[in-house]
Amino acid sequence: MSEDPHGGHDGSLDYHRRMIGDPHRVDAYERAIRALVRPGDVVLDVGAGTGLLSLLAARRGALVHAVESMPIAGVIERLANDNGLRDRVAIHRVDVRELTLDAPVDLVVSDFMGRFVADDFMLDAMAAALRWLKPGGRVVPSEIALRLAPVELGHLAALDVFEAPIAGLDLRALAPVAEASTYPVTLDPGAVLAPAALHANVRPGDGAAAFTGEHTFTVTRAGRLRGLAGWFDATLAPGVVLGTGPGVESHWDQLLFPLPAAHVAVGDVVTVRLWLDDSEPAWLWRWEGEIRRADHPALPFSLTSVGRLAGGIPLEPLHHDYATLEALNEEGGAAVARGDYDAAAAAFTRAVRGLGPEHDDLAPFLWENLGLAFVLGGRPADAVGPLLRALDGDLTSREQSARLLVDACDGSGRHRDADRYRAAYEAHFGPHPSSRR
């Protein structure tokens, strides 16, 4: 989160299309408005967008002030006309902080919630809107529970692309920058590695201070920890809760706060403090803590949602000699044999990073072994590049590389590529094993 919280957000039609096309969101808000709005109520819709919530309230007999500062406000009048509700909707093309009304309202309604709520940059706007609420008036949503849990991710390109060598080059210096940003992710419930914690209860009008929480998570399922996922459950009306947790297919998805990648076991502990820093004009998410694993030193982290690129020094010679390459290949092969695919990938990665022009005869073999380690280690997206390098532009040059390339593409969602490479494989080598399923 790095945009100015006072500057609004994306006002494009496609942004609003995702919101009005989210059936969970629309159903929950429609039920809440039906439960809370009474004929003759005066309703203030904050950040009205296309006016959907305004129209739903007007249809229940309310007089609605639709407030929208972005150009999308231009569509509200047409949609109100098309639905026979123009006489019940007053359109205010103004920042809500500058809004002037003749009298207070009975209900304030808004979808001011981004991922983990704050990422829609409307906290100040909601606080300003509530000055127009009558004593005892109603607000939709009335309360929002923020939840947080450590999660496993098989692959997130935005993070993992820097961990594997790219054409033999070491780009790991970019990984800390990537880790210090937040990302939308779509998670299944099975991705959660420990029970979720209630991070904070937020009410409309709350500021950044309400978003602070400290947690200790004890891992209940082994996996590759890659971050903390945040989501919310918003109470829109009594009995109407809009949930956005893992397994719910909504336009919010979940928000990932990356952590250093670590394999964790049952009983390992993750501690974290997460807060929203409003000390600068561009508000920042910050999170810090440590990962404690049995038989490993504590792994601390301290991250902010604006990354920094640190200087570095070479860790190894530019090119290895043959003896070093052979030793690394043997080290990787032994790790594959014992099922330690992370160690195998690390050894083969060191080898390919040390390849020079004098090693062209070894390169395809070492790149193939790296691709194999990634496939066996459940990192198919990372395997695609090494396997293409092993084949060196000739899909028929190495049977194992060509076969694994199909599996890597399928496993990473590159299904069109997989079909293309499968056809090339079968034209030269015969049926691919995956074709026999």
pTM score of the predicted model: 0.80
Check pLDDT > 60 for residue 312. no
Q: Tell me the average pLDDT across 76-96.
A: 94
What Cα–Cα distance (Å) separates residue 18 from each residue in 53, 73, 126, 337, 384? 15, 17, 22, 48, 32
Which residues are paired to 147 by β-bridges? 198, 231
What Cα–Cα distance (Å) separates residue 209 from each residue in 14, 75, 158, 271? 32, 35, 29, 20
**103-112, 245-254, 365-374, range with the lowest pLDDT:** 245-254
Check pLDDT > 70 for residue 178. yes
Give the C-alpha separation, 268 to 289, whole Å: 14
**37 with 128, same domain?**
yes
Residue 354's domain is classified under what CATH number? 1.25.40.10
How many Å is the Cα radius of gyration of the chain? 27
**180 with 299, same domain?**
yes
Check pLDDT > 70 for residue 306. no
What are the pLDDT digits (tens) for 334-361?
999 999 998 999 999 989 888 888 888 9
Check pLDDT > 60 for residue 374. yes
**364 with 430, same domain?**
yes
pLDDT confidence band for 303 (50 / 70 / 90)? confident
**355 with 426, same domain?**
yes
Q: Note the pLDDT of residue 2.
A: 42
Q: Note the pLDDT of residue 355.
A: 87
Handedness of CA 17, 22, 28, 31 (dihedral sign): positive
Give the C-alpha separation, 414 to 400, whole Å: 19
Asked if residues 101 and 65 have their Cβ atoms less than 8 Å apart, the reply is yes
Which secondary structure element, helix H or strand E, spans residue 407, and what is its range?
helix 399-411
pLDDT confidence band for 251 (50 / 70 / 90)? confident
What are the pLDDT digits (tens) for 324-333?
999 999 999 9
What are the pLDDT digits (tens) for 391-435?
999 999 999 999 999 999 999 889 999 999 999 999 999 999 986
Q: Which domain holds residue 209?
A: 144-304
Q: Note the pLDDT of residue 170.
A: 80
Identity of the amino acid at 36: L
Q: Measuring CA to CA, which residue among 329, 425, 337, 328 is closest to residue 376?
A: 337
138-142, 160-164, 275-279: which is most confident: 138-142
Residues near 339 by beta carbon (within 8 Å), at least 6 away in sequence? none
Q: Of 278, 304, 330, which residue is a domain's last?
A: 304
**Residue 105 resides in a domain:** yes
Give the C-alpha separation, 287 to 129, whole Å: 30
- Which has the higher per-residue pLDDT, 77 or 161? 77
**106-110, 172-176, 264-268, range with the lowest pLDDT:** 172-176
Give the C-alpha separation, 284 to 307, whole Å: 11
Q: Tell me the average pLDDT across 196-211.
A: 94
The percent of residues above 90 in pLDDT, for the chain, comes to 64
Residue 252's domain is classified under what CATH number? 2.70.160.11
Q: Of 235, 269, 304, which residue is a domain's last?
A: 304
Residues near 285 by beta carbon (within 8 Å), at least 6 away in sequence? 1, 118, 182, 257, 274, 275, 276, 277, 304, 305
Q: Measuring CA to CA, which residue among 151, 152, 154, 228 is closest to residue 413?
A: 154
**18-32, 34-48, 115-129, 306-320, range with the lowest pLDDT:** 306-320
Q: Of 269, 304, 339, which residue is a domain's last?
A: 304
Give the C-alpha separation, 91 to 74, whole Å: 9
Helix (H/G/I), strand (E/B), else coil: 242: strand
Check pLDDT > 80 for residue 22. yes
Check pLDDT > 50 for residue 3. no
Residue 24's domain is classified under what CATH number? 3.40.50.150
**93 with 236, same domain?**
no
- Which has the higher per-residue pLDDT, 306 or 15? 15
Q: Measuring CA to CA, which residue among 5, 32, 206 is closest to residue 121?
A: 5
Q: Note the pLDDT of residue 298.
A: 92
**Number of structural domains, the chain?**
3
